[in-house]
Every structure is written in C-alpha cells, then in structure tokens.
C-alpha cells in the first residue's frame, strides 16, 4: 500500500543544517508512491548539493527563477500548478518571514506566492536554533502563517547542531512522512475526541508470572493512527506492548484489567467515540503472591483461586454519557470460531451499536486482518487487508454512523 500514490509533491529546501534530513525525506516520499520535484534556495545549496536531491527524486532540481529549461521561463507558475502540495523542509526562520510578508526574491518564495492557495496547500517543517524558535518575531510569524492557511508541522526537541538543546529541530523524516500522509486523509472525524483501548492486559500471579494473551495491539494502534489522521483528538490506553506511539496521539500505558478500567472510565468522560480493541483478561488471580511461587517437589501445581474482572466495554457502554448518545461505543470480538454468531451475541450482550469481529488466532501479531462489522441491521465484511487500511475503513464507517448530534 502506497499512501501517496498519485501525489505530486514540490519539496522546497531552505538554508539550514537540517537539509541532510531532506535527502531521507525525499527518498521516503518517493518510496511511498509520490513524485517529488525539488526546489532549492541558494542557501540550501551550501548544505546539500542539487546532485544528491536529483538522484533521490529522479527529477532535475530547480534553483533559479531564470531557469531556461521552462519553455515559457515561468518555473514559479509551472511547478506550483503541477503540485498537490508544497512542502518546505527545512523551513528557516528567514524563509518563514518571507512567506509571511509575501516576499518573492528567489524561485521558492516566488512559487509559494504564485501558487493557487485554494488548490495547492503549503506545509512547512521549521528548523532553527531554540532561541530563534522562541523569539517573539518567530512566534508571531508562525501564528500568522497558520491564520493565512499554512500548515506548520511543528518541531522536535533535542540536541542542536550549535551545541544547545531545546525546541526547533526539524522533525525526523519518517515523522514528516506520517504528517504528510495524514494531511491527505479525509477529515471525517474533525472535532471528535476518540478513546481507543489496545493490546493485552497482564494479571499478576506473582512478581514474575502472570496471565496474558497473544494480542499485539497492532489493530488498536492502527485505529488510533487512523482516527488522528481523520482529524480527531485521540487518547490511546495501551496494555503492555512495545509498539511506537502513533504521531499526535496521547498514550496512557496500563498493565492489568483494573488499571485499564480506571483509565478508560476517566478518559471516557471527555470522549465522543470509544473503540474497545483491547483483549482484556476475563479472570485474574484472587490474590497475587508477594514472592515467586516455587515448586515444592510434590508434582502438583499450586491451588489458585480466580475472580472475574469487570466488563470494561459493558461498563462504559452503560454509562450515562453512552446511554444519552454523547459517547458512541464500538466493541471488538476476537474469536476462534463461529465469528458471526459470537459477534452478534456479544453486541447484544454489551449493548453497543457496532461490534467488530475477527478471528484472533489468524491475526494476532500480524500486520493484516479481516473484519466483520455487526450492527442492528446485520453483518458486513471488510475483506483481508493491512490493519492500517482496515482501520481507515473502520474510521469512515464510524463517522458515517455517528448520531446527527455528534456531527
């Protein structure tokens, strides 16, 4: 799946040491299916050569508004009209000021000014020293650029080439790639606050052992990413998994079912959509041992009592906010057989408008899946695909099912 297939990106480089990251960014955009036209300022050429960017983009690099390669000698018009978006990475403090004031003394600034603003969006990835980033002039400039319709992708925090540490680093290439991909996704959940649970839970038997399951959390993390791409504010409550947090998602890590219940009940108070993908343990030991349980030589396992965990999905679905329609709840069912029957029964038992079923053993730990959507009118299958593709389909389904009051 190439998320940027068919997209044509003009990648602008301005002067800054972060130009070295632009090489990897260009490669990543091309690998994701985009065609990339590089335009460099004179200052950018002091940090990275046009030859490098030409090799990575497979297209001639432009740097002058007087470039005679264009038959009409209007590169600033031609290049901007061909683009699905202009991405400036790195974007220096000086170039941000140029954009703000409509300066047009080189090809890149001229092209940005001449672009059809209603058809060709402008995205910038700032890169500068921490003092420059926090300077009142820069703060004013970026606020006005956003007001003018520019998308400012933010900055990273950490060590800087000057030896100082703080905000202002250009985001890493893969972070920028995710932001560009997200930019082009339909914003069907704009204004929504989505709560997602993901992964397994771990119920301690003793300090080193516990009861858990094979859930990897990948489906839940994909849904969190897809919801964020769709414009929602997203909180992800995750059991013990080692997956990276999706860009722009608030993550809350938990261990046990009781930990997860407490977190979800708390964050459900501000959510408008709850998607329960976590594989929560049904039972836990009545009492976890303080020390590791040792074999006693009898050949018999220790006697262990269990108590049932609170049903998290049913608890949230029966809350006043869910019952009033302010919180739309979606459940998940990971089954080993008879998926339709079990998913249908679970939807009725949990009291949720939409239940998503899958065959657990066929998907645990994998990057692909197939889903069965069960609601009051019946069932419909989302055929086998990557989990991210399915997550995006599911997000679109949820958006189309929301009560009118939530739109």
Indicate whether 3 belongs to any domain: no
- Which tokens is 100 given? 């703000």
- Which tokens is 240 given? 């013990």
For 267-282, the pLDDT digits (tens) are 999 999 999 999 999 9
- Which tokens is 22 given? 């632009």
pLDDT at 371 (0 to 100): 92
Whole-number percent of the chain with pLDDT over 70: 99
Task: Round the average pLDDT of the chain to a whole number and report it.
Answer: 94
User: Is the CB of residue 238 less than 8 Å from the CB of residue 267?
Assistant: no
Please tell me whether residues 116 and 43 are part of one structural domain.
Answer: yes
Please tell me whether residues 283 and 307 are part of one structural domain.
Answer: yes
Indicate whether 55 belongs to any domain: yes
Please tell me whether residues 176 and 214 are part of one structural domain.
Answer: no
Indicate whether 265 belongs to any domain: yes
Q: Is the pLDDT of residue 407 over 70?
A: no
Q: Is the pLDDT of residue 404 over 70?
A: no
pLDDT at 367 (0 to 100): 87
Indicate whether 1 belongs to any domain: no
Residue range 18-35: average pLDDT? 98
Please tell me whether residues 231 and 91 are part of one structural domain.
Answer: no
Please tell me whether residues 176 and 208 are part of one structural domain.
Answer: no
User: Is the CB of residue 238 less than 8 Å from the CB of residue 250?
Assistant: no
pLDDT at 161 (0 to 100): 87
Alpha helix locations (H) across 318-386? 320-324, 339-350, 360-363
The CATH number given to whatever domain includes residue 379 is 3.40.50.10300
CA dihedral 34, 40, 46, 50 (to 10 degrees): 60
Domain count of the chain? 2
Q: Is the pLDDT of residue 335 over 80?
A: no
Three-state DSSP class for residue 381? strand
Long-range Cβ contacts of 285-291 (<8 Å, 24+ apart): 285/203, 285/204, 285/205, 285/211, 288/204, 288/205, 288/206, 289/205, 289/206, 289/207, 290/206, 290/207, 291/206, 291/207
CA distance 170 to 87: 13
Please tell me whether residues 20 and 130 are part of one structural domain.
Answer: yes
Indicate whether 21 belongs to any domain: yes
- Which tokens is 398 given? 């949820």
pLDDT at 84 (0 to 100): 97
User: Is the CB of residue 281 less than 8 Å from the CB of residue 211?
Assistant: yes
Beta strand 378-386 pairing with 85-91:
unpaired
Of all residues in the chain, what percent are helix, strand and coil, respectively (each to 5)? 35, 25, 40
pLDDT at 100 (0 to 100): 95
User: Is the CB of residue 8 less than 8 Å from the CB of residue 38?
Assistant: no
Query: Domain end: 157, 184, 211, which one?
Result: 184
Residue range 248-273: average pLDDT? 97
pLDDT at 365 (0 to 100): 79
Indicate whether 43 belongs to any domain: yes
pLDDT at 405 (0 to 100): 59
For residue 322, give the nearest of 393, 265, 258, 249 by alpha carbon.
265
pLDDT at 68 (0 to 100): 82
Indicate whether 90 belongs to any domain: yes
User: Is the CB of residue 376 less than 8 Å from the CB of residue 344?
Assistant: no
Q: Is the pLDDT of residue 393 over 90?
A: yes
- Which tokens is 153 given? 């992708």
CA distance 25 to 28: 5
The CATH number given to whatever domain includes residue 97 is 3.40.50.1950
CA distance 151 to 123: 5
Please tell me whether residues 165 and 17 are part of one structural domain.
Answer: yes
User: Is the CB of residue 91 less than 8 Å from the CB of residue 74?
Assistant: no
Please tell me whether residues 288 and 388 are part of one structural domain.
Answer: yes
Query: Domain end: 184, 211, 231, which one?
Result: 184
Please tell me whether residues 173 and 218 are part of one structural domain.
Answer: no
Please tell me whether residues 111 and 201 are part of one structural domain.
Answer: no
CA distance 54 to 297: 71
For 46-92, the pLDDT digits (tens) are 999 999 999 999 999 999 988 888 888 888 888 999 999 999 999 99
Please tell me whether residues 49 and 149 are part of one structural domain.
Answer: yes
Domain range for 296 is 193-406
Please tell me whether residues 350 and 208 are part of one structural domain.
Answer: yes
Indicate whether 249 belongs to any domain: yes
CA distance 112 to 102: 9
- Which tokens is 345 given? 């029964």
CA distance 84 to 148: 18
First-to-last alpha carbon distance for the chain, in angstroms, is 30
- This prediction has a pTM of 0.92
Query: Domain end: 154, 184, 214, which one?
Result: 184
Residue positions annotated with a catalytic role: 162
Phi, psi values for residue 208, rounded to 5°:
-120, -10
- Which tokens is 94 given? 């000086």
């Amino acid at each position: 799946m190439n998320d940027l297939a068919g997209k044509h990106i003009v990648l602008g480089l301005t002067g800054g040491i972060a130009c070295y990251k632009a090489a990897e960014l260009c490669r990543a955009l091309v690998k994701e299916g985009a065609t990339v036209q590089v335009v460099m300022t004179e200052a950018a050429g002091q940090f990275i050569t046009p030859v490098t960017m030409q090799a990575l983009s497979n297209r001639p690099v432009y740097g002058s508004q007087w470039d005679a390669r264009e038959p009409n000698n209007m590169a600033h018009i031609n290049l901007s009209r061909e683009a699905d978006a202009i991405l400036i990475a790195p974007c220096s403090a000086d170039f941000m000021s140029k954009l703000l004031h409509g300066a047009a003394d080189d090809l890149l600034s001229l092209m940005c000014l001449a672009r059809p603003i209603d058809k060709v969006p402008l995205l910038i990835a700032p890169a500068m020293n921490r003092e420059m980033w926090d300077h009142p002039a820069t703060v004013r400039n970026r606020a006005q650029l956003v007001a003018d319709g520019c998308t400012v992708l933010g900055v990273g925090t950490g060590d800087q080439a000057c030896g100082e540490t703080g905000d202002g680093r250009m985001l890493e290439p893969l972070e920028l790639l995710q932001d560009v991909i997200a930019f082009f996704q339909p914003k069907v959940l704009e204004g929504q606050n989505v709560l997602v649970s993901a992964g397994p839970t771990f119920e301690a038997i003793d300090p080193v052992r516990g009861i858990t399951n094979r859930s990897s959390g990948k489906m839940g993390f994909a849904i969190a990413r897809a919801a964020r791409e769709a414009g929602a504010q997203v909180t992800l409550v995750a059991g013990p998994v080692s997956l990276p947090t999706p860009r722009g998602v608030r993550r809350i890590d938990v261990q046990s079912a009781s930990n997860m219940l407490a977190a979800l009940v708390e964050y459900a108070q501000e959510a408008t959509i709850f998607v329960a993908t976590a594989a929560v343990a049904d039972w836990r030991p009545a009492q976890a041992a303080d020390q590791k349980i040792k074999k006693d030589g009898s050949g018999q396992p220790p006697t262990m009592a269990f108590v049932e965990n609170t049903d998290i999905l049913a608890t949230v679905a029966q809350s006043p906010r869910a019952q009033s329609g302010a919180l739309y709840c979606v459940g998940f069912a990971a089954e080993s057989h008879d998926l339709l029957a079990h998913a249908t029964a679970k939807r009725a038992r949990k009291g949720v408008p939409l239940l998503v079923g899958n065959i657990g053993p066929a998907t645990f730990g994998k990057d692909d899946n197939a889903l069965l959507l069960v609601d009051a009118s019946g069932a419909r299958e989302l055929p086998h695909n990557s989990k991210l593709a399915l997550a995006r389909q599911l997000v679109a389904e949820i958006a189309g099912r929301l009560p009118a009051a939530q739109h």
